[in-house]
């Protein structure tokens, strides 16, 4: 049997899984599925690994000792002991087939042992066989679901995993319905709540399917209870059509139709108890309907995902093709250049006019440039100028060729980054639902895309050519947030000549707090430094500081051009490396005058709490990590100083409360010890920025020779 790959889990994740397994054994050890014991504990023991199987056994023993049912539950205890032993010995085996067969054999063996001890007849053996088959089947489907969640963090409904999840849900509802309290049936309540949530998310199809599974599961445990839920598929259908009218209206109509149906068919104390459970289930739905189940349940057809994957492959292939053409062109260009230089070296002799008095000497050997006769020869002077111009043209073409190759590299990186950015999980159903809701309120977009990034955070992009739509974004954000029952953030918009892209995203686990301070050089009115902080709409935040060449307005133009181009390119979805190459090429070719600017960028991953520093000619950056101070210095050239960008890049893991200090080169290095002490003694970001800026003049000998800009950024954890 093939082994499934096992992912390494953190200690917290292992403890969480063990506790969930313990609760499973604690709750379901006394559950029934018809007239036999529920297969859930044994199936869970095999699907949760060695530690999980032991936890299920401990939970079941706890319930048996508390309830005093150790003897009747002896077959279950024996099965769990065998399961724990097998999982400890064969912990690497985790395929559905292995789990199914071994769980069935354990139940069958325990049933045979119990029958022999109790001197039961053949009927006991048949019950054991039925229980073994049911347990093996449940274990197979449960393990399929567990593997899908472990590897992909989601369940694809329109696949074999979706079928497995339906079977597991059916068995769970049947087991929960076997617990009958005085006025509460947990299976009934949970089944109603899940049916309403499915109708809310997947409309009538979700309401019908979950309603049917709930009714059948309840029928298997208790026929009378199942009869009271017979209308659940029909009312789930109605709830699906009513889902656009809000949760309160949907649950109210759902409750009304179910109650009338039950009172019409029968009128007894059991009916009123069922109506009470129905009401509790609707209340549970109203409390839990804000949970976005679309994060874990994927309803798209697999063909849609394959189309996206094919597009990603084709874009990556296009990037590789451009790279291949660029490499071949570079080789051919190098060969032609070498051939030209060899030919030029063989023709170094300068021809002269036949009337020249030194033509005999010229035909014999090369004439020295210091010869007075040569200086007076116009032909030789003309030829020397021609060769000089030829060398300048060759150097210019080589530089242009190098810039072109850099832009081709940028094109490769752009295509690759676009392909990588498409490797997300688009939700066509959620996109359609958002579009319908906005149109209902009179808001129309040219295009809407709702998707989940690789961190499973919801992202919504809206494109519109109507400039007035920008004024309505606050209302749009509120409408979509209320619809999805989650807090959405409105990110920075990106404008093009024809349209505007608006972004809404689910709040990230971390966010930034920042403060900036600056001062101009002596006799300066405008600072040559530019500092911006922006969000790219994919879960990353950027702090950018650029210092133009010199001071004043001219330097301000260079720094603003660099920082704004970086912001626009990144916000448009272009890769960071490609963006730097494009900016470098534009800085080189925008004018005849030499111009360059530094680039100091800090890219914050707000999902994993990491920062990536990119430095091109920038001053040092200081990071405070807890009580430790780190200084990052990179001796690189500014943007626009050469045909190839010289960029330093390094990533660091951060924790909430860590601080990143970005400074222009107007802050002298002699000030760094003071900055270190300041960071260790103060947590006021505004005070830190202003104090560094003010002390720069003192450390510069009392004169402010250069523009000074300080940006202090702190990483904070969001409280949901």
The CATH number of whichever domain residue 532 belongs to comes to: 3.60.40.10
For the segment 204-219, what is each residue's pLDDT rounded down to a tens digit? 888 888 889 988 888 8
Note whether residue 57 is domain-resident: yes
> Is residue 541 assigned to a domain?
yes
Whether 296 shows a pLDDT value over 80: the answer reads no
Q: What is the rounded radius of gyration, in angstroms, for the C-alpha atoms of the chain?
A: 36
Vertex 69 angle, CA 68 and 70, to 5°: 100
Average pLDDT over residues 13-33: 85
Same domain, 277 and 397: no
β-strand pairing of 155-156 with 297-298: parallel
Residue 508 DSSP class:
P
264 in the same domain as 175: yes
d(CA 199, CA 207): 4
> Do both 559 and 691 map to the same domain?
yes
Q: Assess contact for 672 and 632: CB atoms under 8 A.
A: no
For residues 326 and 409, the answer to whether their CB atoms sit within 8 Å is: yes
Torsion from C-alpha of 382, 387, 392, 393, nearest 10 degrees: 100
The count of domains in the chain is 5
Does residue 74 share a domain with residue 28?
yes
Q: What is the pLDDT of residues 316-358, one digit of tens each?
A: 655 665 566 556 556 655 655 555 555 555 454 444 454 455 5
The reply to whether 515 and 450 lie within a common domain is no
The 10 Å Cβ neighbour count of residue 198 is 27
Q: Taking 50 as the threshold, does the pLDDT of residue 447 lie above it? A: yes
Average pLDDT over residues 38-58: 88
Cα separation of 218 and 213, whole Å? 9
Contact call for residues 32 and 127 (beta carbons, < 8 A)? no
Among 287, 273, 277, 230, CA closest to 255? 277
Looking at the structure, do residues 326 and 442 belong to the same domain, yes or no?
no
Within a domain: residue 431? yes
Please tell me the predicted confidence (pLDDT) of residue 367.
Answer: 45
Please check whether residue 441 lies inside any domain of the structure: yes
* CB 35 within 8 Å of CB 124: no
CA distance 570 to 492: 12
Report if residue 620 sits inside a domain. Answer: yes
Residues 492, 404 within the same domain: no
> 387 and 452 share a domain?
no
Average pLDDT, integer, range 491-509: 81
647 and 532 fall within a common domain:
yes
Residues 199 and 242 in one domain: yes
Q: How many residues does the chain have?
A: 720
- Residue 367 located in a structural domain: no
My answer on whether 558 and 590 are in the same domain is yes
Q: Using the predicted structure, report yes or no on whether residue 366 has a pLDDT greater than 50.
A: no
Among 421, 452, 478, the domain boundary falls at: 421
Could you tell me the pTM of the whole model? 0.60
Ranking 135-139, 211-215, 393-397, 534-538 by mean pLDDT, the lowest is 393-397
pLDDT over 50 at 7, yes or no: no
**Which positions ≥6 away from 135 have C-beta within 8 Å?**
39, 42, 43, 79, 103, 104, 106, 107
Using DSSP, how many helices (H) and how many strands (E) does the chain show? Answer: 22, 20
Spatial contact of 569 and 582, defined as CB atoms under 8 Å apart: yes
Mean pLDDT lowest among 246-250, 398-402, 519-523, 542-546: 398-402
DSSP-derived secondary structure for 161-197: HHHHHHHHHHHHHHHHHT---SS--HHHHHHHHHHHH
Note the Cα 40 to chain centre separation in Å.
34
**506, 539, 561 — which closes off a domain?**
506
Structural contact between residues 61 and 81, judged by C-beta atoms closer than 8 angstroms = no
- Is residue 73 very low, low, confident or very high in pLDDT (cuts 50, 70, 90)? confident
- Average pLDDT of the residues in 111-137: 80
Range of the domain at 169: 156-299
Residues 562, 485: one domain? Answer: no
What is the model's pLDDT at position 621? Answer: 93
3-state secondary structure 320-340: HHHHHHHHHHHHHHHHHHHHH
Residue ranges of the alpha helices (H) in 572-626?
576-589
Q: Give the pLDDT confidence score for residue 430 in this predicted structure.
A: 80
Give the CATH number of the domain where residue 439 resides.
Answer: 3.30.70
pLDDT of residue 2: 39
Which pLDDT band, with edges at 50, 70 and 90, does 310 fall under? Answer: low
pLDDT tens digits along 385-440: 776 776 666 666 666 666 666 666 666 666 666 555 555 677 777 888 888 888 88
7: Cβ–Cβ under 8 A, 6 or more apart, which residues?
150, 151
Burial class from Cβ neighbours inside 10 Å (0-12, 13-18, 19+) for residue 676 reads: middle
Final residue of a domain: which of 483, 506, 529? Answer: 506
Across 330-483, the runs of DSSP E, i.e. the strands, are 425-426, 447-452, 458-464
């Amino acid at each position: 049997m093939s082994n499934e790959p096992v992912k390494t889990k953190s200690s917290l994740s292992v403890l969480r899984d063990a506790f969930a397994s313990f609760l499973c054994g604690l709750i379901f050890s006394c559950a029934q599925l018809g007239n036999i014991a529920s297969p859930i504990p044994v199936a869970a023991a095999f699907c949760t690994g060695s530690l999980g199987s032991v936890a299920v056994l401990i939970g079941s023993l706890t319930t048996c000792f508390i309830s005093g049912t150790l003897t009747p539950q002896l077959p279950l205890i024996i099965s769990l002991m065998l399961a724990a032993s097998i999982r400890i010995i064969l912990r690497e085996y985790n395929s559905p087939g292995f789990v199914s067969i071994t769980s069935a054999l354990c139940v069958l063996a325990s049933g045979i042992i119990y029958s022999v001890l109790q001197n039961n007849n053949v009927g006991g053996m048949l019950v054991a066989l039925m229980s073994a088959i049911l347990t093996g089947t449940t274990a197979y489907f449960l393990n399929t679901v567990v593997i899908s969640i472990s590897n992909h963090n989601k369940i694809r409904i329109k696949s074999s995993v979706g079928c497995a999840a339906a079977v597991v849900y059916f068995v769970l509802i049947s087991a929960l319905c076997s617990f009958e309290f005085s006025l509460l049936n947990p299976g009934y309540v949970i089944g109603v709540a899940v049916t309403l949530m499915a109708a809310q998310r997947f409309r009538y199809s979700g309401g019908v399917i979950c309603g049917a599974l709930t009714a059948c599961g309840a029928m298997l445990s208790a026929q009378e209870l199942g009869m009271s839920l017979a209308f659940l598929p029909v009312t789930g259908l109605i709830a699906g059509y009513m889902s656009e009218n809000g949760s309160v209206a949907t649950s109210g109509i759902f409750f009304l139709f179910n109650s009338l149906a039950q009172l019409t068919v029968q009128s007894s104390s059991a009916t009123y108890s069922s109506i009470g459970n129905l009401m509790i289930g609707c209340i549970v739905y109203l409390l839990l309907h804000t949970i976005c189940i679309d994060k874990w349940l994927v309803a798209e057809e697999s063909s849609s995902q394959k189309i996206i994957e094919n597009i990603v492959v084709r874009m990556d292939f296009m990037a590789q093709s451009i790279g291949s053409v660029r490499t071949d062109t570079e080789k051919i260009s190098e060969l032609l250049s070498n051939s030209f230089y060899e030919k030029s070296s063989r023709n170094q002799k300068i021809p002269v006019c036949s009337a020249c008095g030194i033509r005999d000497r010229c035909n014999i050997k090369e004439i020295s440039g210091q010869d007075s006769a040569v200086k007076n020869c116009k032909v030789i002077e003309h030829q020397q100028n021609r060769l000089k111009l030829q060398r300048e043209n060759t150097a210019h073409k080589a530089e242009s060729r190098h810039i072109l190759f850099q832009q081709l590299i940028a094109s490769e990186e752009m295509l690759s980054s676009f392909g990588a950015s498409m490797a997300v999980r688009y939700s066509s159903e959620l996109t359609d639902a958002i579009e319908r809701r906005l149109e209902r309120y009179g808001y129309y977009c040219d295009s809407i895309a709702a998707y989940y990034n690789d961190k499973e955070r919801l992202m919504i992009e809206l494109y519109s050519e109507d400039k007035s739509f920008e004024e309505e974004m606050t209302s749009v954000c509120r409408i979509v947030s209320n619809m999805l029952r989650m807090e959405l953030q409105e990110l920075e918009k990106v404008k093009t000549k024809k349209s505007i892209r608006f972004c809404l995203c689910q709040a990230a686990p971390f966010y930034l707090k920042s403060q900036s301070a600056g001062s101009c050089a002596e006799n300066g009115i405008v600072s040559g430094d530019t500092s911006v902080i922006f969000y790219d709409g994919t879960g990353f935040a950027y702090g950018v500081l650029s210092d133009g060449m010199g001071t004043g307005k001219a330097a301000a133009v260079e720094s603003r051009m660099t920082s704004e181009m970086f912001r626009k390119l990144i916000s448009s979805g272009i890769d960071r490396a490609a963006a730097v190459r494009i900016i470098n090429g534009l800085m080189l070719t925008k004018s005849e005058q030499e111009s360059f600017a530094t680039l100091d960028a800090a890219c914050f991953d707000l999902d994993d709490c990491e920062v990536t520093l990119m430095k091109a000619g920038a001053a040092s950056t200081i990071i405070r990590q807890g009580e430790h101070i780190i200084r990052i210095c990179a001796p690189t050239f500014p943007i626009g100083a050469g045909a190839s960008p010289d960029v330093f890049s390094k990533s660091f893991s951060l924790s909430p409360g860590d601080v990143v200090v970005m400074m222009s080169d107007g802050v002298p290095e002699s000030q760094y010890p003071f900055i270190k002490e300041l960071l260790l003694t103060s947590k006021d970001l505004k005070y830190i920025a202003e104090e560094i800026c003010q002390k720069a003049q003192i450390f510069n000998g009392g004169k402010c020779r250069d523009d000074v800009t300080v940006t202090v950024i702190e990483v904070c954890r969001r409280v949901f």
